[in-house]
Structure 1
Amino acid sequence: MITYWPGQQGTQLNQQVSCLFKKIYIKLNYNLYNKTSQILSIDIVDAHIKKELFKVILLELEILILDIIELDVTVSDLELLNKRILVDLINKSLSNFQQILNIEISSEQISASSKSMFYKRLILEHRLLLQNLLVYLIFGSFDDGTKTYIFPDNKIPIQHVEILLDNLIIQVADLIFYLIINADGSMIDLFYFLKVNKICRNTYASARSIATFKNNLVWNNYLCYYFQQPRIIYNNRYQVWIFSTKGLHCQYIYAYREDDLEFLEGLQVLIIVLLELQDFILPKIQSIFVLIGRVWIYIFRYAITNSFKIILKSIAIVMRSK
């Protein structure tokens, strides 16, 4: 039986939010390793450190929700401030995480890393990542006027809100550690930083393995930013990460993303154009090949049939002559 998210503010919504956060905290005791073929920056992190980072983000999100309620922010205000709220959530979570690990990363290094493709890719999806979730958690499902997700009569399944919360925690954690990894100058500095602070997993025991991981991470983010993200937006899909008992998994859900097309740039736009050309040209090429195939089959059958008739006639003539 499908249970739906409360439609408006009240005791029922507060209880549902409380139960949802308790459930997420329980999920942090699951296997937290990535079980997909995609690379996450937190893949290099020890499970204990990863769990602490998730807790920090959850705590900051709870504080953020209480602040929004106290300030009496409306849904319209939330739409205007959402990007700034997301950046603030990332910065505060990063700052608290540094205090827990007793490490220090300068604001200049973080500022330089924030210009990366990964950071821009996440900020581009700020509405899908945070805005809709905040609306559900604070105002209920009836105040979601974006129509990003197609559900009948604003009946939002509780599992959908849970997926969005899982996704926010995992993606913000992934971005935070991406900023940490890329804040150090040289690879040797990064190696000592990870080893001295006992952050990374035992499988990354050498500078070479860490360098390989970082290079693969950069290459993966390049592919995601320029090739995967435009295709996903064009197909009205959104990739979400979820917690499961077996580890971290990702899946795709439907999301209306036509408005995101105008924020694409350069090679991303070219990929969209190529996809449109593919949709226009490929069916016609397939039709031509099907037609050519049918013609060849007809010619081949005609040739075989006539050849067989000629052979039979020749045999008949030979038999009569004898």
Structure 2
Amino acid sequence: MSKKIKIKYWPNKPSINLNNAIVNLFIETEKKLMLKTNNKSHQYLYLDILNTITRNELLKSILHQFKELILDIIEINLNNTIIIKLHKKIRTIFIDRVSNDFLLKLKCNYAIKNNKKFNDSNNNLTDYLLIYLIFGSSYIENNVFLFETLYTPYNHVKILLENFIIQTGNIIIKQLIYNLNNSPNINKFLKQQNICNKLYTSNRSIILFLNNLKWQDLTQSYIYDIKSFYSERQKVWIISSKGMTTQYIYLSKEKKLQSFNQMKIVFIFWLETKDLLIPKAEKFIVQIAKYCLYCSISLFSNLILILIRIIVFYLNK
């Protein structure tokens, strides 16, 4: 007789249970960051350019700074509405703080200029994570995720935290690379600080790496993000036993449609039309193919019969 798997749910309101859940969550995540953080997905990360030690230190620093951020927000007693309104500013300030801490540990006087366009890649997952950690699951809107808000799985919040850490680290290194401006400067900086991944120790390898990332960002923005929006899925990064990888979670995206430009809306319309017409077109084509095949077989059979009769006729003569 198989045992039923007991699902662990996230607390739905501020309480001792929520505090304990947060402590356990951070301890579990910190243990994961001590293991493998190599990129095991089929996609590039700006984090890939760092060696393993530096990448781990950066991700652990993000987790540590995030603990302090949660405590600061609780201390100033912000409500959930204000957090949602200020989540972009909170995220920008947080990224600046972690970036400065990262460079300070490297004993580097270099300053990273914040590029706000890099801070929007995580959609609304950051403010959902903040609300889960500060107020509990009952403050999340209904129909945002697949499950009822009062029955939010513990692992769901764990995924959001891991995704936040990886995405934040990726943005920090992306900003650093774009601030350094060109491959010789990037190569020089990484080698001087002794933080470079051995795969990217030459200018040529860095150029190829950055070109692959630019192409990936372009296709992600104009193809995969729109397809994910259409199917109401959100790609998230997680830390598995093998390393960093991706998976998809359900996320309602009704509000995001207003921010799409005309080109993206046209692509969504094309996806809608494709889903409506292609099944019918496929059915029609299959029926036509069957009819053509039947006619071809009948014609071929009749031709063989005629040929046999002609042969028999001439043999009888």
| Aligned mates of 1:197, 1:258 — CA distance in 2 | 45
2:42 is equivalent to residue 37 of structure 1: yes
Match of 1:279 in 2: 275
Match of 1:162 in 2: 158
Matched AA of 1:188: P
Give SS of 1:163's match: helix
Contact preservation (8 Å) 2:119, 2:171: no
Deviation at 1:43, TM superposition (A): 0.5
Does the C-alpha gap of structure 1 residues 236 and 104 become closer, same or farther in structure 2, counting only changes over 3 Å? farther
| Aligned mates of 1:171, 1:302 — CA distance in 2 | 62
2:23 is equivalent to residue 18 of structure 1: yes
Task: Give deviations 1:96-125, integer Å, cap 9, x for gaps.
Answer: 111111223445xx24x444xxx16516x1
| Aligned mates of 1:56, 1:278 — CA distance in 2 | 46
Does the C-alpha gap of structure 1 residues 150 and 276 become closer, same or farther in structure 2, counting only changes over 3 Å? same
Does the C-alpha gap of structure 1 residues 78 and 121 become closer, same or farther in structure 2, counting only changes over 3 Å? closer
Matched AA of 1:56: S
Which of 266, 271, 279 is equivalent to 1:270?
266
Which of 61, 65, 69 is equivalent to 2:70?
65
Does the C-alpha gap of structure 1 residues 266 and 193 become closer, same or farther in structure 2, counting only changes over 3 Å? farther
Which of 291, 302, 306 is equivalent to 1:306?
302
| Aligned mates of 2:201, 2:217 — CA distance in 1 | 24
Match of 2:100 in 1: 95
Deviation at 1:190, TM superposition (A): 1.3
> Percent of aligned pairs with the same residue?
32
Gaps of 5+ in 1: none
Deviation at 1:175, TM superposition (A): 0.6
Does the C-alpha gap of structure 1 residues 153 and 225 become closer, same or farther in structure 2, counting only changes over 3 Å? closer
2:183 is equivalent to residue 184 of structure 1: no
TM-score (norm 1): 0.90
| Aligned mates of 2:277, 2:229 — CA distance in 1 | 21
TM-score (norm 2): 0.91
Task: Give deviations 1:257-289, integer Å, cap 9, x for gaps.
Answer: 121122122543333233233223322332332
Contact preservation (8 Å) 1:234, 1:261: no
| Aligned mates of 2:120, 2:285 — CA distance in 1 | 39
Matched AA of 2:206: I
Deviation at 1:311, TM superposition (A): 4.7
Matched AA of 2:159: I
Matched AA of 1:207: N
Task: Give deviations 1:58-84, integer Å, cap 9, x for gaps.
Answer: 122111111111121112222211121
Match of 1:137 in 2: 133
| Aligned mates of 1:60, 1:221 — CA distance in 2 | 27
2:230 is equivalent to residue 225 of structure 1: no
| Aligned mates of 2:158, 2:65 — CA distance in 1 | 17
Contact preservation (8 Å) 1:8, 1:140: yes
Gaps of 5+ in 2: 1-5
Contact preservation (8 Å) 1:42, 1:177: yes
Matched AA of 2:196: C
Contact preservation (8 Å) 1:57, 1:169: yes
Deviation at 1:215, TM superposition (A): 1.7
Does the C-alpha gap of structure 1 residues 121 and 290 become closer, same or farther in structure 2, counting only changes over 3 Å? farther
Give SS of 2:194's match: coil
Contact preservation (8 Å) 1:167, 1:241: yes
Contact preservation (8 Å) 2:137, 2:149: no
Match of 1:77 in 2: 82
Match of 1:247 in 2: 243
Contact preservation (8 Å) 1:230, 1:264: no
Contact preservation (8 Å) 2:13, 2:135: yes
Matched AA of 1:94: S
| Aligned mates of 1:314, 1:215 — CA distance in 2 | 70
| Aligned mates of 1:227, 1:105 — CA distance in 2 | 36
Structure 1 residue ranges (4+ consecutive) displaced by more than 4 angstroms after TM superposition: 311-319
Contact preservation (8 Å) 1:187, 1:211: yes
Task: Give deviations 1:198-222, integer Å, cap 9, x for gaps.
Answer: 1111222211111211121122111
- What is the Cα-based RMSD across aligned positions, in Å? 2.0
Contact preservation (8 Å) 1:114, 1:179: no
